[in-house]
Amino acid sequence: MANSEVFDIAIVGGGIVGAATLYKIQKKHPELKLILIEKEALLADHQTGNNSGVIHSGLYYKPGSLKARNCVEGRKELVAFAEEHGVDCDVCGKVVVASDESELPMLDKIFNIGLENGIEGIEKIDRAEIKRREPHCEGIAGIWVPVTGIIDYRQATEKMVELALKINPQSKLALGEEVLDIERNGETKRIITSKGSYESRFQVFCAGLQADRLARKDQVNLKEKVVGFRGDYYELTPQARHKVKNLIYPVPNPDFPFLGVHFTRMTNGEIECGPNAVFTFKREGYGKTDFNLRDAFDALTYGGTWKLFFKNMRFGINEYRRAFSKKLFLKTLQRLVPSLTMDDLKPGRSGVRALLLRTDGDTKDDFRIEYQDTSIHVLNAPSPAATASLAIGNQVCEMAEKQFNLPVGQAV
């Protein structure tokens, strides 16, 4: 079924980055007719809806990078957005805890990064102050980060889309439509989905775990591939929730590309512990044994994957062991909260993170947004992209104005 109407901009991907892009462009350009296309029946059903729900402060990101700038700006805007529109949110603060002396140099390093990134109110704390803030946590030194918070990212995504669609009734949301192909059609492109097709003058792709595949369908010459990493969580049982008040993080290992297992109080009061980080054989696979032949073949025939494995072999083996052993997972958690027992943990959910993995196996790439022809592609938006989503939306909107030569809009 072909769709006869032509949209000004089609946005592909209904996670929070796609939603924020829709919201920001529509707010700045209320006259434009936009469409947001999402392959799942619900918005925010992959990375956005399965992450830890943390509003990151900007503590870990290289000063001057897109991650650092967008995280700090986006955090402030996201909190204001949540407060204005009734999205569940709590700026509760977190402690980053060093468990032994070997971690102190890295603790100093991230504290100084935090200062450079302009994070408000951070302070070094001692053992006694850690105990005051988190009575069941053990550590020799730490950082108090008052601006870290928690939020319901699904709610935030849904609210952004709802507000955007109210601005222009001609704009649309298409759920449950997977993009199968992209064709040039004179002055427009036709986006062919599992249910029909849509024509648009311009396109923005915010496709997360499928970002590289849709870029290639749009004739982008991309060397890198997206590789997925599953993160498993445990939850504290109701009788153990008192052992964590808000958020407790370890000092990140500089040799490992993820932040490590941490404790997060969710907006519904539950306490999550995790995630670990294991290579997944299915990009959208949330079970420990999920497998997809195309996804596995894509990842395992890519040289960057193997370079990452060899660089991080010891960590990778430990992560896999922990994924299948509650006892080992508990042992990691006990570094921060020693009084936890096996009975305090119950299995939780899982999430999958998309990393645009460089050919040399490096995972530390910055946010990456590129323009080609009539399209903008958000190629790499790992954590803290959810926190930074409104700032990324601003950036994409500015890029669209410049590259698509949009008329000057009047923000509503």
Confidence of residue 365 (pLDDT cuts 50, 70, 90): confident
Name the CATH architecture for the domain at 2-48+154-223+366-403: 3-Layer(bba) Sandwich (3.50)
Q: What mean pLDDT is predicted for residues 194-216?
A: 97
Closest CA to 145 of 70, 57, 67, 68: 57
d(CA 207, CA 379): 8
Q: Locate CATH 3.30.9 in the chain.
A: 225-357
Count the neighbouring beta carbons within 10 Å of the beta carbon of residue 12. Answer: 31
Supply the pLDDT for residue 147. Answer: 98
Distance of CA 72 to the CA centre of its chain: 15
Q: What mean pLDDT is predicted for residues 197-215?
A: 97
Say what percent of the chain tops pLDDT 90.
86
Element (H, E) at 96: strand 94-98
- Evaluate if residue 410 carries a pLDDT over 60: no
Confidence of residue 320 (pLDDT cuts 50, 70, 90): confident
Distance of CA 372 to the CA centre of its chain: 24
Q: Which residues sit opposite 34 in a β-bridge?
A: 9
- Evaluate if residue 357 carries a pLDDT over 60: yes
- Evaluate if residue 123 carries a pLDDT over 80: yes
Q: What mean pLDDT is predicted for residues 96-112?
A: 96
Q: What mean pLDDT is predicted for residues 128-148?
A: 98
For the purposes of burial, counting CB atoms within 10 Å of the CB of 273, is it exposed (0-12), middle (13-18) or buried (19 or more)? buried
Give the CATH class of 225-357: alpha beta
- For the stretch 24-69, pLDDT in tens is 999 999 999 999 999 999 999 999 999 989 999 999 999 999 999 9
Q: Which residues sit opposite 273 in a β-bridge?
A: 234, 263
pTM: 0.95
d(CA 14, CA 206): 8
CB 46 within 8 A of CB 154: no
Q: Which two tokens stand for residue 255?
A: 């040799």
Supply the pLDDT for residue 212. Answer: 96
Supply the pLDDT for residue 260. Answer: 82
- For the stretch 273-304, pLDDT in tens is 999 889 999 999 999 899 999 999 999 999 99
CB 32 within 8 A of CB 165: no
Supply the pLDDT for residue 33. Answer: 97
Supply the pLDDT for residue 255. Answer: 66
- Evaluate if residue 412 carries a pLDDT over 60: no
Of residues 409 and 10, more confidently modeled: 10
Distance of CA 401 to the CA centre of its chain: 25
- Evaluate if residue 1 carries a pLDDT over 50: no
Supply the pLDDT for residue 122. Answer: 98
Q: Locate CATH 3.50.50.60 in the chain.
A: 2-48+154-223+366-403
d(CA 71, CA 14): 20
Q: Which two tokens stand for residue 283?
A: 């990009």
Say if residue 384 is preceded by a cis peptide, omega within 30 of 0: yes
SS3 content of the chain, % helix, strand, coil (to 5): 35, 30, 35
